[in-house]
Structure 1
Amino acid sequence: MRAGVVVGARPGVEELAVRAEELGLDSFWVNDTPMVHGDPFVALALCAKATRRIRLGIGVTSPALRSAPAAASGLASLNALAPGRIVCGVGTGNTARRTLGMRPVTSARLEEFTAALQELCAGRPAAYREGDRVREVWFLHAAGHVNTADPVEFVVAALLGPKAAAVAGRRGTGLVSFGLLDPAAWRALHEVRRRAAAPEEEPGGPGSYLVTALHVLDGDEDRHGDAARDATGHLVLSLLAFAADTAAEDPAVADGLGPGGREAVRRLLERRGTTATAPDRHTRLYPGYLGRIAPQDRDLVLPPLMDALALVGTRDELLARIATLERAGVDELLVQPVVDPPAEMARLAELLARP
């Protein structure tokens, strides 16, 4: 299986990209979460100039964050710096929208946005809509400014719902999902995508990416000890924050976590000094989002949630789980390193080293 990493944009990120390339990793992604991390287009421009081989990904952008012309301009500009190495994840903005206190967009708007990006990045005209006004737009000065000759790879973010997977099928894109370690769920997403795809699409289709966290156990180390919680806690806390944020509008999310998870959601709200109905709760729930957790929050990293969202185990256990995911159609494992990124990238590369 291919392997890559996902990080937040910050000064010096290009040094991590260089190290990822040296380690033989396949891709290097930067989150698009305004008001949480820096700008991914700025970060990836630095990475593009500093690397030669590794693919560079936006993970993921949304029509509620950027207009199609602005996003296409950023992608085509990156493609001029790193021809043929650019990957763009697109989604409804579930995370990046909620960190702003807003709701995600609809799958219909996601599909319209994806179609426009595909056309514009390929140098073709696309329909651009603002309210009731629709105009055809395209790059007016492509040569020497942007690259629309080399392809940009697109992937649609899909969790368990079928709508985004169907968008991926209709648009001929790949899939990316977060913390989805259930092979049956991946097979279901691929089946939805396959049914929605055009008849002439080649068998197998575009790539599928799994974003998760990884912790390789050392000897008889406790699989739910502090080291494992620190390496995986950002994923667990992201789920708890989402459940807390949506508890009033959709209690099924918190209820689905079981009694222990519901109690963890309650404690998280209390610890952050907010409530499930406070209009400014996003300002309390999301600081430090997808970063290394504080030691005092380790108790919220429940073992069942760690096991559901992250890969923790011995080398042999992890290789067996990864092989099962690969058989279910996952092509690339994307790890979010938060404790010691260079060391974590090295462990990922060593784990998946090709003979």
Structure 2
Amino acid sequence: MLAGVVVAAQPGVEDLAVQAEELGLRSFWVNDTPMVHGDPFVALALCAKATRRIKLGIGVTSPALRSAPAAASGFASLNALAPGRIICGVGTGNTARRTLGMPPATAAALEGFTAALQDLCAGRSTEYREGDRVRDVRFLHAGAHVNTADPIEFVVAALHGPKAAAVAGRRGTGLISFGLLDPTAWQALHNARRRAADGTVHDSNSPADSSVNSYVVTALHLLRGDEDPGSDAARDATGHLVLSMLDFAADTPAFVGQLGPDEREAVRKLLDRRGTTATAPDRYTKLYPNYLGRIAAQDRDLVLPSLMNSVALVGTRDDLRTRIAALEQAGVDELLIQPVIDPPSEMAQLVELLT
């Protein structure tokens, strides 16, 4: 299993990228959540100049956040700084849109955006629409400005539903998912991707099925000795992913019905502590501050063992290697962790686990 890391864009991120490269990690990603984190293109530009080998990804951008020409300019500019090392993650913007109090983009918009980025980043023209006006656009200046010669790796974000996986199949891209550690669910995503890819002719910037990668983003805590799986250290290391799931549930009442009674009670407590309700128009301003950051000690009780086990990897070395092997068997190529306590130590722990 290959390994990488996902972090928030912030000053000093390039130092982490250098450490990740020195540890032998394959990829280094930053989030694209404009009102929560820093700008990912600025962050990866710094990383590109500081590193030589590691892949650099944005996980993920969205048509609801950026126009295709603007996003393509960013990716092709990064490709000029780190030729052939750039990964373009695209999705409906589920989180980044909800932090604005807005709905995510549709699967159709995601597919059009992905196709446009693939064309532009390969130096081709693409159809660009604003209202009723449609124009063919392409990079008018190449050379040192942007790099359209070296390939960019594209991945589409998919959760449990097949629509995004089908977009990946039709566009010949890889897949990325967040907190999805169920091998059966991954098999379903890959099946949806393959069905959509059948009979689709891919261009040179849309690789064949056998050459694309699948990524899962999670958090990791390796238990030492007789440490309890529900220890404060385990909750702190994984709580940001659990709270992100509870934030989504608190922001999406229809999703709460899929949870068990303990999880529904955790959502109720979260809303109460944040001083909002599931229907308040401004609830996003109360739910998402410090999103994907280290959780507060008073919120540890919300990090239920059932949720930790669902979205994160907590266990002994043997336990975790067994779970990772099952994911690999289900077609996951690379394990990405989001470290928030001590990123250098957590990255080293990941390398130790996989070697």
Q: Report the equivalent of 1:88.
A: 88
User: Separation in 1 of the partners of 2:301 and 2:158?
Assistant: 29
Q: Report the equivalent of 1:294.
A: 296
How big is the shift at 1:204? 2.8
Q: Report the equivalent of 1:224.
A: 230
How big is the shift at 1:198? 4.3
User: Separation in 2 of the partners of 1:159 and 1:51?
Assistant: 31
Considering only aligned residues, what root-mean-square deviation do their CA atoms show, in Å? 0.9
Structure 2 residues not aligned, in runs of 5+: 203-207
User: Separation in 2 of the partners of 1:261 and 1:126?
Assistant: 46
Amino acid at match of 2:243: L
| CA displacement, residues 50-109 of structure 1 (integer Å, 9 cap, x when unaligned) | 000000000000001000000000000000000000001100000000011100010000
User: Separation in 2 of the partners of 1:89 and 1:44?
Assistant: 13
Q: Report the equivalent of 2:267.
A: 265
Find runs of 4+ consecutive structure 1 residues off by over 2 angstroms. 198-205
Q: Secondary structure at the match of 2:120?
A: helix
Alignment TM-score, normalising by the size of structure 2: 0.97
| CA displacement, residues 174-223 of structure 1 (integer Å, 9 cap, x when unaligned) | 00001101101000000000011144674534100000000000111001
How do 1:97-176 and structure 2 match up within 5 A? 97-176=97-176
Q: Report the equivalent of 1:47.
A: 47
How big is the shift at 1:144? 1.5
Quick one: structure 1 residues 50 and 69, their matched pair in 2 at CA, closer, same or farther if it must change by over 3 Å? same
Q: Does 1:244 find its partner at 2:246?
A: no
User: Separation in 2 of the partners of 1:344 and 1:85?
Assistant: 23
Q: Secondary structure at the match of 1:204?
A: helix
Amino acid at match of 1:207: N
User: Separation in 1 of the partners of 2:265 and 2:131?
Assistant: 43
User: What percent of counterpart residues are identical?
Assistant: 78
User: Separation in 2 of the partners of 1:172 and 1:205?
Assistant: 9
Q: Secondary structure at the match of 2:247?
A: helix
User: Separation in 1 of the partners of 2:213 and 2:198?
Assistant: 16
Answer whether contact 1:172 1:205 (CA < 8 A) is retained.
Answer: no
Amino acid at match of 2:239: G
Answer whether contact 2:172 2:209 (CA < 8 A) is retained.
Answer: no
Q: Does 1:191 find its partner at 2:191?
A: yes
Q: Does 1:345 find its partner at 2:327?
A: no
User: Separation in 2 of the partners of 1:149 and 1:198?
Assistant: 27
Q: Secondary structure at the match of 2:217?
A: strand
Q: Secondary structure at the match of 2:28?
A: strand
| CA displacement, residues 300-331 of structure 1 (integer Å, 9 cap, x when unaligned) | 00110000110011111111110110000000
Q: Secondary structure at the match of 2:237?
A: helix
How do 1:57-76 and structure 2 match up within 5 A? 57-76=57-76
Answer whether contact 2:97 2:103 (CA < 8 A) is retained.
Answer: yes
Q: Secondary structure at the match of 1:210?
A: strand
User: Separation in 1 of the partners of 2:118 and 2:269?
Assistant: 43
Alignment TM-score, normalising by the size of structure 1: 0.97
Paired residues in the alignment total 349
Amino acid at match of 1:23: L
Q: Report the equivalent of 2:205.
A: none
User: Separation in 2 of the partners of 1:204 and 1:149?
Assistant: 22
Moved more, 41-50 or 127-136: 127-136
User: Separation in 1 of the partners of 2:49 and 2:136?
Assistant: 32
Amino acid at match of 2:100: L
Moved more, 196-205 or 127-136: 196-205
